[in-house]
Structure 1
């Protein structure tokens, strides 16, 4: 016989302080993070702080010895940046690219299949990139890794986007790409 607890929270459980600490740690990293990954890391950090408190260590005391929020973010991000073994199949990648293309289109961006990623047309606010400053954006999901984007030219710097390899993850990646195309993020390649 099983019972259900109707008062159990749905979704991740984390403190606002943990989310703020993880978000601050993310700002010093070389990758961009979607909200669900930040929430995942904040949930783990909240649990670690709670375990520490059971041993007389308050959350503020962690700052004396380590960047617990940053370490938590790094360990959670690794789960999203590495593909499960065996690697993703071509069919899985094409499906994820299809989800991304749909999400980008729903956000009002022009996206088309590229080789091997999804090419997103730049907007008036997009930072300059490429040989003439007018390159479009290439967004990819790797068979053995996570999401990333770059200007669609050979030799361009690549920016990781830490997000789930799922339809929901593709939607969150699309939100970040939209913010980049609109110029809301600035030129993240020069951080």
Structure 2
């Protein structure tokens, strides 16, 4: 187990097999997942496998009736796709966008980003996939008052891809890592899936 062996671990407890299974399922979804979201799903899957084991059901047995890993990805993703009641305030959204800009422009990531209207605009790089009417649009990232994170090219009518991440400072930092990979051309273009 990747983190289950330590009794002092404060984070999620999951097996490496569970993480690999949810990571594989997440690749088939039309969204991007930050590591902490995958860890959350892997922890749930590890728990379900353990419950099944107590009833004589192996992880392989689940495959006969359902994709338990896929179900874990989907049920956990739902928690990040919609905001709790009440909806996020404008101040909360601005604060999360501010954390995102801070992470994007940090010396570690080194991107150029700024708050703009309802989102954050990230300057494209030389290896950013083509997007927008002329292929040269910058990237826009948002978190919604009643939903989660997403990004698109900063042009009206551009397709939008969800990023399943917590609505927190740590979540903003993980979203920044995905955006860095996209802008630098290290991420398979999710708009072409």
Same fold by TM-score greater than 0.5: yes
Question: Is the aligned partner of 1:20 residue 2:20?
Answer: yes
Q: How does 1:1-191 map to 2 (within 5 A)?
A: 7-106=7-106, 107-191=109-193
Q: How much does 1:64 deviate?
A: 1.1
Q: Secondary structure at the match of 1:64?
A: coil
Query: How many angstroms apart in 2 are the aligned matches of 1:148 and 1:97?
Result: 12
Question: Once the 2 structures are TM-superposed, how far is the Cα of residue 187 of structure 1 from its aligned partner?
Answer: 1.6
The 3-state SS of whatever aligns with 1:75 is helix
Deviation (angstroms), 1:8: 3.8
CA–CA distance in 2 between the matches of 1:30 and 1:186? 12
Question: What are structure 2's unaligned runs of at least 5 residues?
Answer: 1-5
Which whole-Å CA distance do the structure 1 matches of 2:9 and 2:142 have between them?
34
Give the aligned CA root-mean-square deviation in angstroms. Answer: 1.0
Structure-1-length-normalised TM-score: 0.96
Q: TM-score by structure 2 length? A: 0.95
Give the Cα–Cα distance (whole angstroms) in 2 for the partners of residues 142 and 7 of structure 1. Answer: 37
- Structure 1 portions without partners, runs of 5+: 1-5
Give the whole-Å Cα distance in 1 for the aligned partners of 2:181 and 2:42. 23
Runs ≥4 residues deviating over 6 A = none
- Find the aligned partners of 1:169 and 1:188 in 2 and give their Cα distance: 19
Equivalent in the alignment of 2:3? none
Q: Residues of 2 paired with 1:153 and 1:124: CA distance? A: 18
CA distance in 2, matches of 1:36, 1:110: 25
Aligned residues: 186
Structure 1 residue 157 displacement after superposition: 0.1
